[in-house]
Amino acid sequence: MKILVSDSLSARGVDILRQAGFAVDVKTDLTKDELIQVIPEYDGLIVRSATKVTAEVIQAAAKLKIIGRAGTGLDNVDSEAATRRGIVVMNTPGGNTITTAEHTIAMLVAMSRKIPQATASLKAGKWEKKRFMGVELYNKTLGLIGLGQIGTYVTKLAQGLAMHVIGYDPYLAPERARQLGIELVELAELFRRADFISVHTPLTPETKALINANTIAQMKEGVMIVNCARGGIVHEGDLYEALRRKKVAAAAFDVFEEEPVKPDHPLLTLENFICTPHIGASTEEAQENVAIGIAEQFVDYFTRGIARGAVNIPSVPSELLSQLQPYLGLAERMGLFQAQLLDGGLERVSVEYAGEVANLSVAPLTVAVLKGLFAPILEDVVNYVNAPVIAKERGIEVKEIKTSDAGDFTSLIRLRVETGTQSHHLAGTLYHRKDPRIVESNEYAVEVVPEGFMLLIYNVDRPGVIGSVGRVLGDQQINIARMQCSRAQRGGRALLIIGLDELPPVHVVEQIKCQPDILSVRLVDLSKGL
């Protein structure tokens, strides 16, 4: 096997690959054209964040079987294009958790004590003790938005500094929060009470500009904000104004919406703003850990056929994968669909396999369900390796059931999730043993193609509802791809599911909610490749 390492990698990782008998070439700083020229001769590619593995690169990779990212994020790898070509994509989940959490605390301390500003002043030959009056962390309230692996570790470190931690994470079970010593609160309460706020969520349509002028207005006068998660979660223009007016006393960023940051970025002009160039994961220990991790994963895959850390296939022997592959897509889409309907902390997940599918090794399918459930709601990159770990860490009970009775179907997967106050049920199957369909949503029989953008509308079963929704979408030039209605009884509560060709703007969804006889509206996004 021939492996290309195209970004800087710890020598320990390269040694592991060579000791396993692989031919390893380390060629860093390749241009896109140079990478396209050399990639056809390699079976494996290891990158960090610099190399961009685009669809064009993947198309040129005639022999490539595996792409490995020595780190967590995969923003620089076109995983969907790789999946279409049958190339395994893997990363090293958890390798950067501790170092990123430590960097968050470092930013918190540096910001509160004005350490970068004081250092610059002293190096300029000044002695300005009175100018750099700071604030203590002791006994202050830290508000964490997102309580995944990194948020949880930040909690431990902050508690060691005698801070009181409150957190917002609608998918963390209350019992798990109690075990961690975190007071779970709603987002509005977190904004109102926190002295310091740190974000630890993924960047999604729901979290983009989560901290903006409106939410900043809800915060304490003199709040301090840290972002070591993803650029774009904090609206940078709104933060600039809040920092300038001193509504926000200080802010510390390791990430920006556009990177590298332009030298004339307005935030860089403010003395009460400190920043680092996306180095949250840049420690010697972390880089060696991820290098060793990805090298060992490559050895496992090429010698044993086990894909540890894979984001696009489960860790199962390749001979079993062909049987499971169609069901994996169905299971993950069911989890992703269900995740976008939840309100409140997830406590229990039950997956029942009925009919022919019950005769397969279903453990990877349960993991696929969990991967789909967690992917849209966690800061952590969720894959087939860490999804069960996340469920355990969050105190979520996972149950697996097999039965021979699939009713009118050859095979059926039933997914039931429970929060503290609600229970949601989905059932899915494969048409022609390859095309995924959702056939039940709670008490409603449906036939949903789980792809693209959908509106799930609960309404009173009266004439005119479909027409009013159609008019709103038509006025906005949003095309309806497919639509169906289901009801439990005439004149009662009904479910209208509309598939759309594009993501509707927020104001369109709000307009639909205001139509007569509409009870609730949910937007479900299944547009991203799995």
pLDDT in tens, 10-33: 999 999 999 999 999 999 999 999
**What fold is seen in the domain 314-450?**
60s Ribosomal Protein L30; Chain: A; (3.30.1330)
Q: Is the pLDDT of residue 172 over 60?
A: yes
Predicted pLDDT of residue 318:
57
Predicted pLDDT of residue 80:
80
Q: Which two structure tokens, joined as six digits, stand for 156?
A: 């431990």
Helices (H), 145-277: 149-160, 174-180, 187-193, 213-217, 236-244
Helices (H), 410-477: 465-475
The C-alpha torsion from 57 through 62 and 66 to 67, rounded to 10°, is -10
Q: Is the pLDDT of residue 411 over 90?
A: yes
Which helix (H) or strand (E) segment holds residue 484: the answer is strand 480-487
CB 448 within 8 A of CB 438: yes
Which helix (H) or strand (E) segment holds residue 523: the answer is strand 518-526
**What percentage of the chain exceeds 70 in pLDDT?**
96
The amino acid occupying position 276 is: T
The amino acid occupying position 348 is: R
Q: Is the pLDDT of residue 374 over 90?
A: no
How far apart, in whole angstroms, are the C-alpha atoms of residue 257 and residue 151?
A: 21
Predicted pLDDT of residue 42:
97
CB 49 within 8 A of CB 72: no
Predicted pLDDT of residue 315:
63
Number of other CB atoms surrounding residue 37 within 10 Å: 12
Domain boundary assignment for the chain: 1-95+281-313, 97-275, 314-450, 451-530
Q: What is the second-level CATH architecture of the domain 1-95+281-313?
A: 3-Layer(aba) Sandwich (3.40)
pLDDT class for 249, splitting at 50, 70, 90? very high
How far apart, in whole angstroms, are the C-alpha atoms of residue 333 and residue 430?
A: 12
| Sheet (strand 346-355) strand order | 397-403, 346-355, 411-419, 423-431, 435-441, 444-448
Distance set, CA 345 to CA 175, 185, 190, 201, 334 (Å):
10, 11, 16, 16, 18
Q: Is the pLDDT of residue 287 over 90?
A: no
Domain 97-275 has CATH 3.40.50.720: yes
pLDDT class for 206, splitting at 50, 70, 90? confident
**What percentage of the chain exceeds 90 in pLDDT?**
72
What are the backbone angles phi and psi of residue 471, rounded to the nearest 5°? Answer: -65, -40
Q: Which residues have a Cβ under 8 Å from the Cβ of 154 and sit 6 or more positions away?
A: 101, 104, 105, 144, 198, 200
278 is catalytic: yes
Predicted pLDDT of residue 255:
95
Q: What is the pLDDT of residues 506-517, one digit of tens each?
A: 999 999 999 999
pLDDT class for 171, splitting at 50, 70, 90? confident
Q: Which CATH superfamily, name and number, covers 451-530?
A: ACT domain (3.30.70.260)
Predicted TM-score (pTM) of this structure:
0.67
Predicted pLDDT of residue 504:
93
DSSP codes joined into one string, 45-60 = EEE-SSS-B-HHHHHH
Q: Is the pLDDT of residue 317 over 70?
A: no
Predicted pLDDT of residue 349:
95
Predicted pLDDT of residue 241:
98
How far apart, in whole angstroms, are the C-alpha atoms of residue 194 and residue 272?
A: 19
- Select which of 136, 186, 259, 443 is catalytic: 259
N-terminal to C-terminal alpha carbon distance within the chain: 28
Q: What is the pLDDT of residues 345-363, one digit of tens each?
A: 788 999 999 999 998 889 8
- Select which of 230, 308, 414, 416 is catalytic: 230
Is 451-530 the same fold as 314-450? no
- Select which of 84, 265, 278, 437 is catalytic: 278
Q: What is the pLDDT of residues 35-67, one digit of tens each?
A: 999 999 999 999 988 899 999 999 999 999 999
Q: What value does the mean pLDDT of the chain take?
A: 91
How far apart, in whole angstroms, are the C-alpha atoms of residue 468 and residue 518?
A: 10
CB 504 within 8 A of CB 527: no
Q: Which residues have a Cβ under 8 Å from the Cβ of 514 and sit 6 or more positions away?
A: none
Upstream peptide bond of 388 is cis (omega within 30 degrees of 0): no
Predicted pLDDT of residue 419:
85
- Candidates 32, 38, 91; CA nearest to 66 is 91
Residue that wins the pLDDT comparison between 145 and 319: 145
Distance set, CA 103 to CA 162, 283, 284 (Å):
18, 10, 13
pLDDT class for 529, splitting at 50, 70, 90? low
Average the pLDDT over 300-329 and give the result: 77
Predicted pLDDT of residue 488:
80
Residue that wins the pLDDT comparison between 22 and 174: 22
Beta bridge partners of 251: 225, 273
Q: Is the pLDDT of residue 234 over 90?
A: yes
259 is catalytic: yes
352 is catalytic: no
Q: Is the pLDDT of residue 448 over 90?
A: yes
Predicted pLDDT of residue 49:
81
Q: Which two structure tokens, joined as six digits, stand for 418?
A: 């429970």
